[in-house]
Amino acid sequence: MKNKIALEEHFATAETVNDSQEYFGAEAWPERRRQLLDLASERLNKMDACGIAYSILSLNSPAVQSITDTNRAIQVARRANDALAEQVSAYPDRLGAFAALPMQDPDAAVTELRRAVTELGFKGALVNGFSQIDKPENATYYDLPQYRPFWAEVERLHVPFYLHPRNPPTSQQSGYHGHPWLLGPAWAFSMETGLHALRLIGSGLFDEHPHLTVILGHLGELVTTNIWRTSHWASPQGKNPMGVATEQSFIDCFRRNFYVTTSGDFRTIAMRNAMEELGADRVLFATDYPFESMEEACTWFDASEIGERDRERIGRQNAARIFGLRD
Ligand code: GRE
Ligand code: ZN
C-alpha cells in the first residue's frame, strides 16, 4: 500500500539514546544507535522504499520518564522536543512529532504540551509509562488525582496521548527474576502498559473527560485480547466485590476512548481481533522502527489478509482523520 501513515516511529537524542542499548547485542547496537539518532536521511529513504508517506516521530523509552531529577526531566524533554521540531519543520510533508513530556511535574507537563502543540505544531504526546519522581522507586501513574488538570488540558487541546511501554518498576519485577528475556518487548512492556491503561479507565478518568483519546501500541498491549474478562470482572453491577464504579463499562470505554496501533506486532490474526473488538476505524498503522524493521512491518501489513477498504483505513485514513492531515 502506498502513502501509509506510521505512528510509533522512534528517534533519540544524545542524552537519551543509551536507554535503548540493553535491547541490542554489541553487533546490532551501532546500527540501531545510528538509526535512532538519524531523524531524516536514512529514515526518509526507508519510508520511500516502504510506501510510508508520513511518520510521526517520538523519543525512545524510557528517556524522560526515568529521570528522577524533575528539573532535568523538564530540560531533557524541552531539548528533545526542540531538536525534533527542527527536523520536522525541514520535512513538514513527511514528518510529524509527538511531544516528550516531563510528567514528573504535572504543571510542567501541561506547559510543555501546550508549547509543543501550539508553538511547535506537534500532533500530540507520547509518554513512556509511569514517571520516577525524586527517587527511582517512586513510580507515579497518571490515574492519580494530581494529573487531572493535565488530562483536562489534553482534552482541551484535542490531541491524542500515546501511552508507550517501559519496563515495570524494579520493585514489581520479582516474577521476572531468573528470566530476563521476559522483560522488555517479549512480555513485560505489554503487561506494564496494559496495566497503566486499565488504571486510567478504572480511575473514572474517561467519565470525567469523555473526549480524551489514548493510543496504545502493540495492538493494545494485551488489553484487547482480555477486554471481555476485564470488563466482566471490573463491572460494579451484580455481585462482584472487586468491581469499580466507573459510569461506562471498561469495554465501552476501551471502544470509545482508545485507538490501537500495529507497532511491533505484525500478526494478522491479532490485528483482525483488534478490528473486531474496536472497529477498523480504531486501528492504526505503526512500525516501531528502529526497534523493529520498517520493511518487515510494511511487507506484512501490505499483504495481510484484510479487505482493501480496511487496509486504507488502518494504513492511512484513520490517522489522517485523527491528526487532521490531508487525505
Ligand atoms: C520501544 O518500542 O520503545 C522498544 C524498546 C526496546 C525494545 C523494543 C521496542 O524501547 O519496541
Ligand atoms: Zn515503541
Q: Tell how far CA 144 is from the center of its chain.
A: 19
From 84, 102, 71, 106, select the one nearest 9 (Cα to Cα). 84
Cβ proximity of 270 and 301 under 8 Å: no
Closest C-alpha residue for ligand 1 atom 3: 61
Mutate to test the pocket of ligand 1, among 9, 58, 60 (most ligand atoms within 8 A of CB): 60
Cα–Cα distance for residue pair 306/269, rounded to 1 Å: 10
- Residue 280 C-alpha to ligand 2 middle, in angstroms? 21
**For residue range 258-293, what is the model confidence (pLDDT) as tens digits?**
999 999 999 999 999 999 999 999 999 999 999 999
Residue to probe by mutation, ligand 1, list 18, 23, 126, 193, most atoms within 8 Å of CB: 23
Query: How many other C-beta atoms are found inside a 10 Å radius of the C-beta of residue 240?
Result: 12
Q: Which residues contact 8 (CB under 8 A, 6 or more apart)?
A: 58, 126, 162, 164, 217, 261, 263, 264, 286, 287, 288
Minimum CA distance residue for ligand 1 atom 10: 61
Ligand 1 atom, smallest distance to 60 CA: 3
Q: Work out which ligand 1 atom sits closest to the CA atom of 185.
A: 8
CA distance 174 to 154: 35
Q: Which stretches in the chain have pLDDT values below 70?
A: 237-239, 327
pLDDT at 124: 98
Compute the distance from residue 241 Cα to the ligand 2 centre, in Å: 36
Read off φ and ψ for residue 54, nearest 5 degrees: -150, 130
In the chain the domains, ranked by start, together with CATH numbers, are 4-323 (3.20.20.140)
CA 239 to ligand 2 centroid distance, Å: 39
- Measure 60 CA to ligand 1 centroid, in angstroms: 7
Give pLDDT, residue 327.
65
- Reduced to 3 states, what is the DSSP secondary structure of residue 284? strand
Residues 6+ apart with CB under 8 A from 80: 13, 15, 16, 59, 63, 64, 100
Give me ligand 1 centre to Cα 233, in Å.
31
**Which numbered ligand comes closest to the C-alpha of 292?**
1
Exposure b/e, 283-311, CB count within 10 A at least 16 = b: bbbbbbbbbbbbeebbebbeebebeeebb
Closest alpha carbon to 32 in 298, 293, 265: 293
105, 143, 265, 288: the catalytic one is 288
Within a 10 A sphere around the Cβ of 82, how many other Cβ atoms? 13
288 is catalytic: yes
Q: What angle do CA 273, 181, 200 make, to 5 degrees?
A: 50
Instruction: Decide: 162 and 127 in contact? Cβ < 8 Å.
Output: yes
Cα(194)–Cα(190) distance, rounded to whole angstroms?
A: 6
User: Any alpha helices (H) in the chain, and if so which ranges?
Assistant: 29-37, 41-50, 70-90, 106-114, 148-157, 188-202, 205-208, 223-234, 250-257, 268-278, 294-303, 308-312, 318-323
Of 199, 100, 115, the residue nearest 157 (C-alpha) = 115
- For a substitution probing ligand 1, which of 11, 182, 291 has the most ligand atoms within 8 Å of its CB? 291
Kindly report the protein residue whose alpha carbon is nearest to atom 9 of ligand 1.
Answer: 291
> Ligand 1: residues whose CB is within 6 Å?
10, 20, 23, 60-61, 184-185, 264, 288, 291
Q: Which of the 8 DSSP states describes residue 167?
A: P
